[in-house]
Amino acid sequence: METDKKRGGRGHLKRWMQALALVYVLMFLPVHGFREAESAGAGGGSLYTGADTDCSPAGGTEEKGEQQKPRIALTFDDGPSAVYTPMLLDGLKERGVRATFFLVGENIVKDGNQRIVRRMYDEGHLLGNHTYHHVDLSALSKEEAHEELAMTDALIREITGRETEIVRPPFGAFPDRMEEELDKLYVKWTVDPLDWTLRNTDEIVRRAVTDIEENDIILLHDCYESSVKAALRIVDVLQGKGYEFVTADELLAE
């Protein structure tokens, strides 16, 4: 009898909880539906025009995640350049943008460029390895290729005290089976405006922003004035369309 009562009590409680859950679902669903429709309806244009969150640290609640801006990454190969990289860093700082730099060892050691690398690190940019001599690694033995990366790793470690976790081989090529052996992530790209052949700011911008999509990784080179000017205009255009620029690891961590 007592057992039955208890069962009855539990059954009653269970029905109550089910009813509450249903009410909760009914209340919650339309909110979700509205938010999804809102962001889907905005298409590729100005997606979310909420508070300006540039430079704010990543993370936050699930609620914020739903309203997150579409994200893209700017990546720069072949630097640093004593002349053009500081111009780029100034412009990125003004705009609250963090980028990813794939550095060439022999460019780090010349012209006092170590200071530029330190500045990149201090300003929150992500540093990656682009070999020491900007060589085609696939033309080298695996030992030589590892040495090319190790030399640049050592330079970056000396300057920042941090290990380099990302790599982009020149010409996109590794010796056979080397990529799997590395303890680094090979960061490829999805948008290549061929800035180094064009040397034309307007055309680089046009090629980079046309058909851009969320999660794209743009490839540029910070050793040309036209590329640096284009990069900053690309930021202005795409920030205006609601995109947020993040470092490549943040994009790939999704």
- The residue among 47 and 230 lying less far from Ni ion, judged by its C-beta, is 230
Give the SS3 label for residue 161. coil
Q: Using CB positions, name the residue nearest to Ni ion.
A: 77
Dist. CA 215–CA 246, nearest whole Å: 10
Considering the candidates 77, 78, 153, 195, report the single residue annotated as catalytic: 77
**Contact positions toward Ni ion, by CB under 5 A?**
77-78, 170
Grouping H, G, I as helix, E, B as strand and the rest as coil, residue 209 is helix
In this structure, the number of other CB atoms found within 10 A of the CB of residue 13 comes to 10
Please state the closest distance from residue 66 (CB atom) to Ni ion, in A: 38
Nearer to Ni ion, 178 or 238 (CB): 178
Token couple for 92 = 């990125």
By residue count, the chain amounts to: 254
Give min distance, CB of 227 to Ni ion, in A.
12
* C-alpha span between 99 and 131 (Å, rounded): 19
CB of 68 to Ni ion, least distance (A): 31
Q: Give Dmax over CA atoms of the chain in angstroms.
A: 90
Of 77 and 195, the one with the shorter C-beta distance to Ni ion is: 77
Active-site residue 77, yes or no? Answer: yes
For residue 195, indicate whether it is catalytic.
Answer: no
CB of 78 to Ni ion, least distance (A): 4
d(CA 144, CA 142): 5
Cite the active site residues: 77, 221
